[in-house]
Amino acid sequence: MLDIVPPRLLWTSKSHIKPINCLSFSEDSHLLASGADDGHILIYSVSSGKRLEDISTKEGPVTVLRWFCDNQQPDARFLLAGTASGTIQLWKRQTPRVQASFICDGQFTESEVEIQDIAVQDISKILAVASRGRVSILKLDTRATFPFKRIVSDPPMLHPPKKALARAVHFYNNGKFLMVAFLDSKEIVAWEVSSWKELWRWKLTTRIGHTAWSPETSLLLVWNLVDGIDVYHIGEHPVWVRKFCVRVKRNNVKQVELGRHGQLAISGSDSGEIFFWNIQSGAQELVLIHGSGLCSFYPHALAELSLSTQSLTWYKSLRYSTNQPAATNDISH
């Protein structure tokens, strides 16, 4: 088994003036975007920690950030931002040069309430958007004057939204299907995207606070708001695999993520610790202490946690070594 190289702190940022809600790495892992309650998106160089740009959305708190590629514009960088006002913005930098600035290349009002999640199907440029009581499928054309076009919504836009809060959306099976996870109804619903036909509906035993999906292993992590993380295998319906216990002191959402091609489960916590588990063996591989209340970044096992919002994400270039002993919990004490 490959062991995680124990990380060291690379840099710390305290540029936002209000709590951080979301973090997202660019596809090449060179840039990091952070969104916060102050309504700003900050762009950083991952290697140096230098703040490259400060983007004001003018739409209230930033709740979701998603980078994506467009093969028709290979030199451009694109960033989607969802806000608390229900607006989705498309930010574009025409050239990969660091000196270039991002411009808002389009805006779309999905609802009057905050955007909970955005999933991107890169090949077909289809977006799935989750907001309070509604899930929508949008077509994205980065070359059009108005880049967003609604395809379908559930419920339809002429109908009132459902009471259930859609917390997360994930494309799977090469973008043919879509999973939607609902908070209080405890349901996961799968749809066929092309026909918008419901495939299955499965009720879990706990609420669904946050999720992470791995297409390589077909595993779904669920922060259950009770005692930590439940792991499910997604086939014709969710099948429970195992649980990773995290002491829950506060009834709020902690973010979860998957690393090592779906073999590593990662979670934040109320205590300021970031936990890493081997999904197959169930063993805890690493604990990182995050005691400053800021966003901390690590060069090998890079993870970010904001204690004010429990925001966690995963750095793609996690490295491993077969020459060092496995990390233990002793590093956290």
Whole-number Cα distances in Å, 52 to 82, 236, 305: 21, 45, 21
103-128 pLDDT, tens digit per residue, is 999 999 988 889 999 999 988 899 99
Helix (H, G, I), strand (E, B) or coil at 331: helix
How far apart CA 53 and CA 254 sit, in angstroms, is: 27
Of the candidates 240, 279, 236, the one whose C-alpha atom is nearest the C-alpha of residue 256 is 279
330 by DSSP, 3-state: which? helix
Domain CATH for 184: 2.130.10.10
Q: Residue 70: inside a domain, yes or no?
A: yes
Query: pLDDT higher for 1 or 134?
Result: 134
Query: Cα 38 vs. chain centroid, distance in angstroms?
Result: 19
pLDDT digits (tens, 9 = 90+) for 161-193: 888 899 999 999 999 999 999 999 999 999 999
Band the pLDDT of 2: cuts 50, 70, 90. Answer: very low
Q: Residue 296's closest CA among 3, 21, 14?
A: 14
The tokens describing 289, both together, are: 């202490």
pLDDT at 158 over 50: yes
Tokens linked to 52: 């490259």
Q: In what order do the strands lie in the sheet with 103-109?
A: 62-68, 77-83, 87-93, 103-109
Q: What is the percentage of the chain residues whose pLDDT exceeds 90?
A: 58
Tokens of 142: 């980065």
Rounded CA separation 111/88 (Å): 10
**Residue numbers of the domain that contains 43:** 18-203
Summarised one tens digit per residue, pLDDT across range 16-74 is: 988 889 999 888 888 999 999 999 999 999 888 899 999 999 999 999 999 998 888 88
Phi-psi region of 331 (alpha: psi -120 to 50; beta: other; left: phi over 0): alpha
**Which residues have C-beta within 8 Å of that of residue 333, sequence separation ≥ 6?**
none
Average pLDDT over residues 286-309: 47
H/E run at residue 163: none
AA letter at 319: R
Q: How far apart are CA 321 and CA 333, in angstroms?
A: 23
Q: Give the pLDDT band of residue 325 (cuts 50, 70, 90).
A: very low
**Cα–Cα distance measured from residue 89 to residue 110, given in angstroms and rounded to the nearest whole number:** 10
In this structure, is residue 159 part of a structural domain? yes
Q: Is 282 left (phi over 0), alpha (psi -120 to 50) or beta?
A: left
Residue range 214-227, pLDDT digits in tens: 999 999 999 999 99
Q: Is residue 68 part of a domain?
A: yes
Number of domains in the chain: 1
- The predicted pLDDT at position 288 comes to 82
Q: What is the pLDDT at residue 291? A: 58
Look at residue 295 and tell me if it is in a domain.
no
**pLDDT, average across residues 206-212:** 95
Lowest mean pLDDT among 67-71, 92-96, 99-103, 329-333: 329-333
Residue 140 domain flag: yes
Overall size of the chain counted in residues: 333
Q: Residue 140: what pLDDT?
A: 95
Nearest to 154, CA basis, from 172, 175, 171, 169: 169
In a domain, 314, yes or no: no
In a domain, 36, yes or no: yes
Is residue 296 in a domain?
Answer: no
Instruction: Please say whether the beta carbons of 172 and 216 come within 8 A.
Output: no
Give 262-282 pLDDT, tens digit per residue.
999 999 888 888 889 999 999
